[in-house]
Chain A
Amino acid sequence: MVDQLPNRGLETEMLEEMGFSSIDDLFSDLPEHVRMSEPLPLPPPQSEEEIIADARRLLGANLAMGEAVSFLGAGIYRNYVPASVFQLITRGEFLTSYTPYQPEVSQGMLQAMWEFQTLISELVGLPIANLSLYDGSTAAAEALTCAVRVHTRKASQSNTVYISELVPPDRMSVMHNYCQGAGITLKVLKHNADGTLDIDSVHSAAGSCGVYVEQPNPLGILDGGLTQIKEIIGKNTALIVGVQPVSLGLVEAPGNYGADIIVGEGQPFGSPPTGGGPIYGIFACSKPYLRLMPGRIVGRSIDVDGKEAYCLTLSTREQHIRRHRATSNICTNETLIALMGAMHMSLLGPEGLEHLAYRNMTACVLAKQKLSEINEISVPHISSAHFNEFVIELPRSAADCLKYLDSVGIIGGFDLNRWYDDRTNWLLVSVTDQTKAAEIDLLAAQLAEWCSMKEVVA
């Protein structure tokens, strides 16, 4: 028996009052030949108790990373979200509200999102941020189309953007889907053997609409060379930088080295990994991009009494007004998750952010040091600084290594062969603020053990 229908048992009375005799009368406008003649072939309704029991059984069959030892990252990172964030987010006034179309009764969420915009703006070093896109990949894709809208008229390479060749294929695929409709050509920027961007190849991007690079890059490398890009490409080509936001507690804000648009996966602030969603995409930009950027923006205003008040603004960019000329089709975004991010950032404060970044970086330094001590393993980019992750080169296939580590309760990292066809022996090892020294020791010991073995029989 379904328990969420307060008018069950009142149907007849309500129908009679309207002059109908049955529920069927309310569907009399459905042409005969489109009516469903049989009941839905689905199981019976369940009670709350049965549902939660099934959920515990099914979700309990998943291996939560906390139940193992995990070195898996590659874009989504283990983190700690403070308890107060989870408690506050259950406030029904936040949780069960819709997009703030009636600002007079939505001041709480509007102000919180205006504060979120400020927190992000300060973090990345650009004056404008929207209140979230779906995830880092869609934020990056929307950044590309935004850059083309702004620059293509003056560009010698019109409708063209350049992208770091290291960008993972999944992220690249999202970019392709978003860009192909606008006829945008995606060209590739080369990387050096040490994993840094080939700065000479950036010269080829001058005159295009945009350059997309990541800091740290997909191999975890913090690349000092990226600070030179803006000077090479000039003001008529957008520098778009994808960031891991926690890194910005230590690493220079890209806005301070010429980035025009900054995007990233907001997840490490406020959201557990959650299988990759719902998380939220960060999108920040400088003033020339404001009127052609995607997504919702909150502005501070006044009410009729002159009292400070907040509302959505610059809506004429958006689909509900501009329809097919909108800057994006986005409507529903990830506001609630962005709110969790804002709460987390507020609790951290500037010094807490720096401390969190140190925890991530020192874990990476320690792991790199321990793993590089294993004879059969090399760290190809050992001279670079890393954030969250780095590559180790194995004597045999990374897939085989992961299988062995899994058998001893370790989620060993990410097999880079899934991204790069020619890298069968590269493993991307991720550590975060949640990684413990003993876990790194355990990984080192098990990797050494695997190296000393013959091929593991499948």
Chain B
Amino acid sequence: MVFDEGGGCLSRLFDFAGGTGMGYSQPEPLLSKDKVALPSNLMRKALPRWPRLSEPEMVRHYTWLSRRNFGIDTGFYPLGSCTMKHNPRVNEVIAQLPGIADIHPHQPEHHLQGLLSIYHEMQHMLAICSGMDDVTLQPVAGAQGEFTAVRCVQEYFRKRGETQRTKVIVPDSAHGTNPASAAMAGYDIVEIPSLENGRIDLEALKAVVDDTVALMMITNPNTLGLFETDVPEASEIVHAAGGQMYYDGANFNAILGRTSPGLMGFDAVHFNLHKTFSQPHGGGGPGSGPIGVKSHLAEFLPSPVVKKRPIVGDEAKFAVDDMWYTWYEPEHTIGKVQQWHGNAGAIIRCWAYYRRYGYGLKDMSEHAVLNANYLRHALHREAKKADVSHMFVDGAEAEVAKHEFTISLQPAKEAVGVSAMDVAKGLLDLGYMAPTVYFPLVVPECMMFEPTETESRDTLDTFAKDFAQVLKVDAQTLHEAPITTPVRRVDEVYAARNLCLKHPFDEE
């Protein structure tokens, strides 16, 4: 990247120490500053050592930084498990409208009928797609959705007096958030091993299920991208012992309109709206993690959820249709998991995304699955052409994948000493984001691909060819990769041993 080196004086924020002129001018205070009286022990003695930048300098600094970052807009981003689909820009425009950007969560209902109606529409849509009875939009991330659902189940059992249920079962291939969320709620985690082929082991499940189990958490398709055909049986086993079934919706993009957690026998589910419904991921967030539950858990949901009723009296002048949308506190609510009403701005974007598909959400999932299977096919096809097909195998045997799939580069590792990480870094040099590496842990030298439905066939074909070319590169060169990126392989051990978590200022 030849332009990158031009950073120079643009690159270091804390080297900007210009005059006391501010980056943007502000109006004068309403009173002179001497009218402010503070207890003397609360007067700030020294201002923070923040930089002093003019607007042109600030704009250049962050533009320079942005050019050292890779997003979906930059290129193909097949990061498995993350559903990096295109983010339609109209959603960004909508989220800046004052009717969402400039509203306060404590405003009364008659100020927020538009927002509440959109919440209601989203609750309804998610309930339909998931086969659940009720939905809350309050959790702000997938992990928080998991935690919220676990809490609802916990209170459900407490209310029933089944306090001996102290365990939560997770497969060893589960996302790390599953055991972390259940442990946060106070549960003991029982991990069950997957079968050789990456699928759930019903015998192992039977061996651990008894009346001390509160919940089993599972994602379907699983983290290998395979549909777990035995999930209905797993549901029966867990339910027979009085436990509940939880669906991790991280992989929901694969199944909309084809099946649902409700049909598979689940009691609760979270949605990663930012994945399935395309809230831009912004380098790590924000997200939105609503949950859906069957009716027996509905009165435990966080407060409030949105309900509707017929209009009364002069409400008509504030209404957006012939119904009144109102906050409702569930009878046995667990309370709040975020202080406000969830990530309203993310929910609006996801609403706009949903409106683009409507009943066509099924097409979305079908194309996601089509693209994943096509990419898997193309990788093998191009590897054969380039005579590198011996370098990798499928991570799991399956006739069809769902929205993502894994391969194992163990053969390459054994034959020529090239690791999944080496291949990932080689792909960076060709202008691609690397697939997810080393997850799930059950596949050695794992690489996990999720192309999503918004990639064209040309992109998939070109990527497959380039992938084969990377496998032709000699091991020594790949160990050195990447060489064209803003920096080369970063020393993470050095970072942990020589902790530098903030600008050192004069201590440097």
Contact = CB atoms under 8 A, between A and B. Distances in A.
**Looking at A41, A43, A134, A433, which has the most chain B CB atoms within 10 Å of its CB?**
A134
Nearest to B72: A96
A346 B100 contact: no
A324 B179 contact: yes
A112 B495 contact: no
Interface string A387-408: 0000000000000001000100
Interface string B205-246: 000000000000000000000110101100000000000000
A348 B58 CA distance: 10
A82 B24 contact: yes
B425 interface: yes
A146 B496 CA distance: 20
Contacts of A57: 114, 320
A257 B489 CA distance: 41
A30 B258 contact: yes
A18 B69 contact: no
A189 B488 CA distance: 52
A60 B486 contact: no
A2 B364 CA distance: 9
A301 B494 CA distance: 6
A93 interface: yes
Contacts of A84: 24, 55, 58-59
B149 to A, nearest CB: 12
Contacts, number: 678
Contacts of B413: none
Nearest to B499: A299
A327 to B, nearest CB: 9
A45 to B, nearest CB: 4
B333 to A, nearest CB: 9
A107 B373 contact: no
Contacts of A309: 487, 490-491
B253 interface: no
Interface string A238-270: 000000000011111100110000000000000
Contacts of B104: 65, 70, 72, 76, 273, 275-276, 411
B39 A385 contact: yes
Contacts of A354: 47
Interface stretch (B290-298, B354-362, B384-392, B468-476): B354-362
A171 B61 CA distance: 37
B348 interface: yes
Contact of A4 (B36, B227, B454): B454
B434 A332 contact: no
A35 interface: yes
Interface string A1-32: 01111111011001101101001011111110
A324 B180 contact: yes
A147 to B, nearest CB: 15
A349 B51 contact: yes
Nearest to B230: A31
B194 interface: no
Interface stretch (A178-186, A204-212, A448-456): A178-186
A7 B454 CA distance: 8
Nearest to B44: A252
A164 to B, nearest CB: 15
A277 B102 contact: no
Contacts of B177: 319-320, 329, 331
A29 B367 contact: no
**Looking at A51, A168, A171, which has the most chain B CB atoms within 10 Å of its CB?**
A51
A51 B499 contact: no
Interface stretch (A229-237, A337-345, A371-379): A337-345
A27 B369 contact: yes
B425 A31 contact: no
B96 A105 contact: no
Contacts of B446: none
Contacts of B107: 63, 65, 72, 411
Interface in B276-333: 280-287, 289, 318, 320
A96 B358 contact: no
Interface in B152-195: 175-177, 179-187, 189
Interface in B471-508: 480, 482, 485-492, 494-496, 498-503
A250 B456 contact: no
A69 interface: no
Nearest to A435: B30
B52 A349 contact: yes
A103 B283 contact: no
B338 A17 contact: no
**Looking at A33, A74, A104, A251, which has the most chain B CB atoms within 10 Å of its CB?**
A104
A91 B66 contact: yes
B269 interface: no
B44 A45 contact: no
Contacts of A457: none
B20 A174 contact: no
A352 B65 contact: no
Contact of A331 (B141, B259, B343, B355): B141
A34 B352 CA distance: 29
A332 B286 contact: yes
Contact of B487 (A87, A107, A366): A107
A86 B96 CA distance: 9
Nearest to B282: A336
Contacts of A17: 374, 377
A311 B338 contact: no
Contact of B356 (A25, A45, A276, A320): A45
B147 A352 contact: no
B231 to A, nearest CB: 8
A329 B147 contact: yes
A242 B87 CA distance: 35
Contact of B23 (A29, A304, A352): A352
A282 interface: no
A294 B381 CA distance: 44
B256 to A, nearest CB: 7
A335 B487 contact: no
Contacts of B24: 82, 84, 347-348, 352
A134 B144 contact: yes
A43 to B, nearest CB: 5
B33 A44 contact: no
A55 interface: yes
B486 to A, nearest CB: 5
Contact of A62 (B113, B142, B256, B480): B113
Given A45-B360, A105-B433, A119-B48, A301 B492 contact: yes
Contacts of A31: 229, 232
A229 to B, nearest CB: 12
Contact of B30 (A20, A35, A42, A366): A366
Given A104-B489, A224-B42, A348-B22, A336 B285 contact: yes
A252 B30 contact: no
B370 interface: yes
**Looking at B31, B69, B398, B488, which has the most chain A CB atoms within 10 Å of its CB?**
B69
A105 B336 contact: no
Contact of B103 (A64, A173, A319, A346): A64
Nearest to B480: A304
Contacts of B439: 320
A275 B115 CA distance: 9
A348 B50 contact: yes
Interface string A422-444: 00000000000101110010000
Contacts of B362: 39-40
B44 A248 contact: yes
14 contacts: A2-B363, A30-B258, A36-B259, A103-B492, A119-B48, A127-B501, A171-B339, A181-B183, A278-B346, A319-B180, A322-B176, A331-B143, A336-B283, A354-B47
Given A105-B70, A322-B180, 10 more contacts: A2-B357, A44-B359, A65-B102, A70-B104, A76-B104, A252-B42, A273-B102, A277-B345, A302-B491, A313-B496
- When A and B form their complex, which 10 residue pairs have the shortest distance between CB atoms, in order from nearest? A276-B340, A336-B282, A92-B73, A59-B99, A181-B186, A108-B69, A347-B23, A224-B39, A275-B344, A278-B286
